[in-house]
Each structure stands twice: as structure tokens, then as C-alpha cells.
A and B are shown apart, each in its own frame.
Chain A
Amino acid sequence: MRNTSRAFRIALAVLAVALPVAAAAQTLRFGLAEDPDILDPTLARTFVGRIVFAALCDKLFDIDEKLNIVPQLATSYQWSADRKALTIKLRQGVTFHDGEKFDAAAVKFNIERHKNMAGSNRRGELAPVASVDVVDPATVRLNLSAPFAPLLAQLADRAGMMVSPKAAQAEGEKFGAKPVCSGPFRFVERVAQDRIVVERYPNYWNKGEIHLDKIVYVPIPDATVRLANLKSGQLDFIERVGTSDIPSLKTDSRFKISRITEIGYQGITINVGKSELAQKNPLGKDPRVREAFELSLDREGIVQVAMDGEADIGNQWVAPTNSFYAKNMPIPKRDVARAKALLAEAGVPNPSFTLMTPTTSDAQKIAQVVQSMAKEAGFDVKIQATEFATSLNMADKGDFEAYVLAWSGRADPDGNIFSFAACKQPLNYSGICKPEIDELLTKSRTTLDTGERKKIYEQLAALLLKDRPDIYVFHRHWLWAYTNKLSGLRTIPDGLVRVQGLKMN
């Protein structure tokens, strides 16, 4: 009796202290660089939407700092012997925000929704998946038409996000207005261009890792204003900090900065075969001119001036620190003399071309620096500023000679190169079309062995970098700034902020 009453008093004392602490709701106010589009994983198409999904919707798999596949809603996977079937074991005890059970039937529903829903942006990502079998409530099997190495990486992104079948069927197209997923936070409200509010889902399977009660995402497109909001205390966290703001933030003890190199790249795409403009322009016609152009660039200098040093130089579609980087093709150093010699050899000592540049400030800075660097080798680069939407269309039609292009990047290297270099693919703006490249690209996605794939990418790099339909210049740093009261941020190269482990002290 005495023990219980003593225990009771201790418990009371603990509660008296803990309650106020627990009662102080931990709200994270997060500044986004854009307003996300539809919050439906099947229809969504923006990068910034994925940041919100990181809190709202769990996926079958996730990636870690080294881009390895780790379990989330799935616990393990197994390829069949012929590599044409992937059996996935699912986590038990997971529920959706509306209480529905997460099981193999739900996975089948979701994969089929991603593949078949009108307007789905995931169709291409899951193209090789021919059918889904429910083996038992905790196991599902994806049957493929051909082996497909990038599949796991796709399932670690939107294509692997699972929504509640009941809610999806009830809402149909309007599901995105009130998404029901199985992530650590559930949807509360959204006011377009103003805020997206999510609150903690108490039955999350990994609730031990979740310390925040509420997250409010606020889209503020202007980087200066976004930073001002952080400094004035209205926001706790901002993404995509302007590179020139970093020095002042470093000296401000109220805030912390985190950075990591992106999985994407910034580069210049050259029209080598997309339209007849390729033949009319010396840059598109002659690979020696392209080589001279690349040699006239000082990548370090571009990063220094245009990005204030907040980028890693590169020459391939994956960063030098990526395990799939082809070490046989290192980054060339600037060599103006050799550039001039090549141009003389090609018979065009002063080639002139137009560089189509989207009106984003990064692209414009890069273009201006490139223009002045290339001038020293004899190039006359004309900058043509084009509104982003228009530039996409012009690139698609081949209405350009060179184009400053950024790609946000995918976890699997295939996502950074296949659609860009394979014949007639939607993102192949350069118009390159060579059967040997296509063959290697196909092999790279159907070979599952990592060692083998690395060798194939080395062969690809040797071919592509010699032809230079794209000149890769650098890989930006994702830059986050947040209040020093926040801890637990994991820096992952895809630029998304995972909420597991985040804590406000």
C-alpha cells in the first residue's frame, strides 16, 4: 500500500512537470520556395510538393544519406531469379489516417491507381510493372515486363506512396484537396498560396521518432522575403536559402545552416539533332566546337561567382561523390589555348551562338559568367532570356541552339540520364540519337547487379562525354537555414526534409 501511494505521488510529481512541457505544442513553421501543386501522389508533379509529402505520405521505401534503399512501409524485398518479379514484404500494424488498414490489397490498389488514373504523372515511372499480385495480406508481388533496376528508387518516391483506398475511391479526382495517407502527419487544411497545415497522426507506426505536433508549410517564393521571415522569427525553417545570404547567416548565432550536394545538376544542353538548327550552328554541328566550348569554361570560377561557392563542380549527370560516377572520365580543367586550337582546327575561330536562358536568377548568373569566359576562347555567346514556360516549349520543339538547363535529380542514376539521352525520349532536348548509346542505356536499366551497372555507366560516360550533347557544369548544394532550437535534421541529397527525428527544444 505504501509503495503504491508513494508511486502515485511520484507519478503525480512527474506529471506536474511533464504536463506543461507536453502541453507546449511543438509547431514547426516551414518556409517553402513555391506553392505546391495538387497533394495527390499520383497527380503531383512539383519538387516542393514532395517536401509536404515527406510529412503526409509514407512510401514503400525511402533513401538514406548515401542513397541506399531503406525500408519504410515495406520491410524487405526479394527479386525473383529472372529479375522479372519483385516480392515485397509489408509492415504490419500500419493504418491510414482514416483508420483503414494498410495491407497488400492497398498496395495493389495504389500501384494500379498510379498506372491507370487519368492524368497520372507516375505512369512512366512504373511503366515496366505489368501487374500486381496479392500473395497474402502482408506480401505483394510486382510482375515486370522486363528487369528494371530503377524500380526500387521509384518506389522510394511518389510512385511508392500509398494512399487510403477508401478515401481515394470516395473522392476520386478531388482526393488531392483532402489527402488521406499513412505518414506521420495527417492533413488538416490548405489555403492556396497561404499555408498547408498538418498535425501529428497519433497512430503512426514509428511514432517514437515524431516529436512535433504540428507543421505549417508557408510558400514564400522570394528568397529575400523568406529569409526575412526566418530572421524576424515568423518561420522556424526555410529551404533553398539564397547563396549570398549564407555568410550573414553563418555569423548569426540564432540560426543553423545545413547543406548537402544535390542529386541533380546544372548544365548546358546543346541542340545536336533536335531540329535543323543543329546543322546550322557550328556548336551543334561539330563536336570539336563543343569540346572547345567546354574547355573554355572554368567550372570552379562559375561556382564561385554564380553560386558563391555553394556547389560542387561536376562533368557528369551524377555528382563526383555518387557511387555511379564514372571515374574514368574526370572533370577537365580549363584550357583556353587548347580551346582556341580546336576552333582553329574546326575552321571556326569565332563561333557565335544563342544561349537560351530561363529568367531565374541562377540561370542568368550562370549564363553571364559563361558568356564572358567563353569570350576569351573566341566564342560570341548571345544570351536570350526566355520565360520558363516558353523555354520548355522551345526546347521541346528544338527551337534553340544551347539551353541552360537544370534537373532536380532522381535517386537512381537512370532518372538523370535515360530520358535525356535515349532516342526520342520526352526530356531529350539535345536530340542525340545513337544506337550504341540507346543499347547501353537499356542495359543499364535492366542489369540489377550494381558492379555491372557501374561498368556500363563508365562506358556510357566515355561515349556521351565525348559527344557532349549536354555539358554538365555543377551540382548545387541544398541549403537549409533554421532556428537553433531545432535539432535532428538529416541532410539527404534529394533535398527533402524528413520529419522523423526533428525536435524543437
Chain B
Amino acid sequence: MGSYLIRRLAQIVPTLFFVSVLIFGLQQLLPGDPAMILAGEERDPTVIAYLHQKLHLDEPLPVRYLYWVGGVLKGDLGDSQRIQKPVLDLVAEKLPVTIELAALAIVIALAIGVTAGVVSAVFRDTVWDYAANVFALWGLSTPNFWLGIMLILLFSVTLGWLPASGYVSPFEDLKANLAAMILPAFVLGNAIAAVLMRHTRSAMLQVLSSDYVRTARAKGLDEHVVVLKHALRNALTPVITLGALEFGTLLSGAVLTEQVFTIPGFGKLIVDAVFNRDYAVVQGVVLCTATAYITLNLLADLAYFLVNPRLRDSVR
């Protein structure tokens, strides 16, 4: 167990190295001179030359990579060239927003997905099974930017129940914060609900046909109790660790959801930075999210490991 942990930790370093190379390469290979778009409408040649010098744009790629990594190891992720703010500050500003969005989304996803999965498993092959199926898949089958715009038009413009955009810190005004976050969280959570539903369903099916449950039924326990108290509890374990693993999907979904709902989180930051060739921002933010994702993955694996003693022995 200990050696497994050490091995997994040791794997993080080369993985992060590859992440840094990957994201650095992608950014720097984007066509065109970033100084051109950062320089302003008039494209003053003096400004362009100054930016070239400031961003080391005339030096070979490996040298630029070393400049960047050197900075990262010292805790300096560089500055956003567009608004002259340190990337680390931007991350600190936006991280809580996206985390809150992701957390709310997971809660909604669990609510939809687990319910649908249970219904689908318990009422197998009936119309409820298919209905639950479609309901959960609906989120996965609709482009989230599309769903977002539709919901804005319905709930904000037509009904006026919820704000169309914006973000208020929960510490400032919890009610306003939730009002602004509920729609985007729903849009985001919808997509993951399907994955959770599938896993819940298969886990439930497994558990429902197991000896454990058959014993409970034989004991004469109410079907509700069997399902909710015994089966669900056992089925939930793998499902919960999935939450961590879906972090990557959440972030992908957040990209467009934040764009549509104008939530100042990571996703919006990255998209704008790619189009504005604000390299430092994209590189820094992706590095942070990758680190978070890898860590979460590791924790999820460990949790799964601890819960399932049989796996401990089968470690290669």
C-alpha cells in the first residue's frame, strides 16, 4: 500500500512535465505573432518590438520554455499581457468561482443522476427505465451553450425569476449568489448526470442481485428499505469517487457555460486568453487545473483502494 502510494506520487512529476510541455507547445505554436494582437489597433512598430523583447519572442522555443518553467518553479506564473495582472492573482480570483460552480453542478448531477440510476435499476426494462434513461441523457445530448441560452431566455427574460448573468460572492450575498449560479450549475450538472446515472445503475444492478440483498429480502424487509438503505449505500461508493474524476469534464463544460452566463471563472478566462494570445494566462491556468485534476485522481484512486480491500492485493 505504501509502495503504491509512493509510486503514484512519483508519477506526478513526469506527468506534470508533459502537461507543461503540451500546453506550452500548443500556445507557442499558435499561428501568428502575439505581439501583433497585443499591440493595439495602430500596430505601432515600436510597441511590437518592445513586446517582442519583453516576452522573449525572438528567442528559440526551448529557451522560452525554460524562462517560463523557471518562473513557475519560483511561484511566478507570469503576467497577463492584456491587463497586466499576475496570473497567480487571476487564478486566486477565479478559482473559487469555478470551484463553487463545479460543486453545485456535482450536487445537481448527483441528485439527477443517482435518482435516475436507482429508478432505472429498480424498474428495469419498464417505461420508467427508459424515461430515466432519456432524462439523464438529455443533459449529455444538448450542447450546454445552447441549453444555457434557452434557460436564460425562459427564466430571466420571460419569467424574470433569475438573473441572466453575473456573479456575486457568496460572502457578500448568499441568496444573490445562488440565484446567479443555479442556472449555470444546472446546465453543467446535467451533462455529468448521465455518467453518474450509468454508474449508479450498473452498481445498483450488481448489488440488487447480490446475496446480501437477497438475504435482506428474505428477511422480509420492505422493498424501499432494501433499495435505499442497503443497496444504495453499497452502490454509492464507486459513484462518489467518480465525482472527482469528472472534474475534467466539469472544467470543459464550464468553458462554454461561463461564457454564456458571464461567470468570471476559469473557463471564460482561458477561452479569452487563447483568442487574445495571452499565453501566460492559458499556460498558467491549465497547469493549475492539471495539477488539481491529477491530485484529485490520486485521492480518488486511494479512496477507492481503501474502500475495496480486494484491490489492495491485486496491485501489480
A121 interface residue (CB < 8 Å to B)? yes
A229 & B165 in contact (Cβ 8 Å cutoff): yes
- When distances are taken between beta carbons in the complex, the residues of chain A under 8 Å from B157 are 228, 231-232
B156 & A45 in contact (Cβ 8 Å cutoff): no
- The answer to whether A118 and B93 touch (CB under 8 A), given A225-B164, A233-B160, is no
CB distance from A42 to the nearest CB of B (A): 11
A119 interface residue (CB < 8 Å to B)? yes
- Give B162's nearest chain A residue, CB to CB: A232
CB distance from B127 to the nearest CB of A (A): 37
B46 interface residue (CB < 8 Å to A)? yes
- Give A389's nearest chain B residue, CB to CB: B37
Contact string, A26-37, partner B, CB cutoff 8 A, digits 1/0?
Answer: 000000000101
Question: Which secondary structure dominates where chain A touches chain B?
Answer: loop
Within 8 A of A (CB), among B164-189: 164-167
Compute how far the CA of A123 lies from the CA of B50 in the bound complex, rounded to whole angstroms: 12
A232 & B164 in contact (Cβ 8 Å cutoff): yes
A390 & B31 in contact (Cβ 8 Å cutoff): yes
Count of chain B residues with a beta carbon within 8 Å of a chain A beta carbon: 49
Within 8 A of A (CB), among B247-296: 259-262, 264, 268-269, 272, 275-277
Q: Which of B51, B166, B269 contacts A119 (CB 8 A)?
A: B51
- When distances are taken between beta carbons in the complex, the residues of chain B under 8 Å from A173 are 84
Q: Which of B39, B41, B93, B260 contacts A225 (CB 8 A)?
A: B260
CB distance from A32 to the nearest CB of B (A): 11
A392 interface residue (CB < 8 Å to B)? yes
B269 & A193 in contact (Cβ 8 Å cutoff): yes
- Give A190's nearest chain B residue, CB to CB: B83
- When distances are taken between beta carbons in the complex, the residues of chain A under 8 Å from B40 are 44-46, 121
- The answer to whether A194 and B149 touch (CB under 8 A), given A37-B82, A45-B39, A234-B165, is no
Q: Which of B31, B163, B268 contacts A232 (CB 8 A)?
A: B163
CB distance from A417 to the nearest CB of B (A): 13
B118 interface residue (CB < 8 Å to A)? no
The interface size bin for chain A is 35 or more
A120 interface residue (CB < 8 Å to B)? yes
A419 & B83 in contact (Cβ 8 Å cutoff): no
Compute how far the CA of A119 lies from the CA of B48 in the bound complex, rounded to whole angstroms: 8
- When distances are taken between beta carbons in the complex, the residues of chain B under 8 Å from A232 are 156-157, 160, 163-164
Compute how far the CA of A43 lies from the CA of B260 in the bound complex, rounded to whole angstroms: 29
Compute how far the CA of A192 lies from the CA of B85 in the bound complex, rounded to whole angstroms: 9
A224 interface residue (CB < 8 Å to B)? yes
CB distance from B307 to the nearest CB of A (A): 40
Compute how far the CA of A193 lies from the CA of B32 in the bound complex, rounded to whole angstroms: 25
Compute how far the CA of A32 lies from the CA of B132 in the bound complex, rounded to whole angstroms: 42
- The answer to whether A218 and B149 touch (CB under 8 A), given A396-B43, A419-B42, A427-B42, is no
B47 & A120 in contact (Cβ 8 Å cutoff): yes
- When distances are taken between beta carbons in the complex, the residues of chain A under 8 Å from B223 are none
B44 & A121 in contact (Cβ 8 Å cutoff): yes
Compute how far the CA of A194 lies from the CA of B164 in the bound complex, rounded to whole angstroms: 14
CB distance from B112 to the nearest CB of A (A): 25
A194 & B165 in contact (Cβ 8 Å cutoff): no
A124 & B272 in contact (Cβ 8 Å cutoff): no
- When distances are taken between beta carbons in the complex, the residues of chain B under 8 Å from A194 are 166-167, 264
- When distances are taken between beta carbons in the complex, the residues of chain A under 8 Å from B42 are 45, 121, 124-125, 419, 426-427
- The answer to whether A388 and B275 touch (CB under 8 A), given A194-B167, A225-B260, is yes
CB distance from B95 to the nearest CB of A (A): 13
- Give B32's nearest chain A residue, CB to CB: A393
Contact string, A108-152, partner B, CB cutoff 8 A, digits 1/0?
Answer: 000000000011110111000000000000000000000000000
Within 8 A of A (CB), among B55-88: 80, 82-85
CB distance from A171 to the nearest CB of B (A): 11
A387 interface residue (CB < 8 Å to B)? yes
A228 & B156 in contact (Cβ 8 Å cutoff): yes
Within 8 A of A (CB), among B126-153: 149, 152-153
B219 interface residue (CB < 8 Å to A)? no
- Give A218's nearest chain B residue, CB to CB: B166
A426 & B43 in contact (Cβ 8 Å cutoff): yes
Compute how far the CA of A153 lies from the CA of B147 in the bound complex, rounded to whole angstroms: 47
Q: Which of A46, A177, A192, A224 contacts B264 (CB 8 A)?
A: A192
Q: What are 13 A-B contacts with C-beta separation under 8 Å?
A: A43-B84, A45-B40, A119-B54, A121-B47, A123-B46, A124-B44, A192-B80, A228-B153, A228-B165, A392-B37, A393-B36, A408-B41, A419-B42
Known: A124-B44, A193-B268, A225-B149. 14 other contacts (CB 8 A): A44-B40, A119-B47, A119-B51, A120-B47, A121-B47, A123-B47, A191-B93, A193-B264, A195-B166, A218-B165, A218-B262, A220-B165, A234-B164, A393-B33
Q: Which 7 A-B pairs have the closest CB atoms?
A: A45-B40, A393-B32, A194-B264, A232-B156, A426-B43, A121-B40, A389-B37
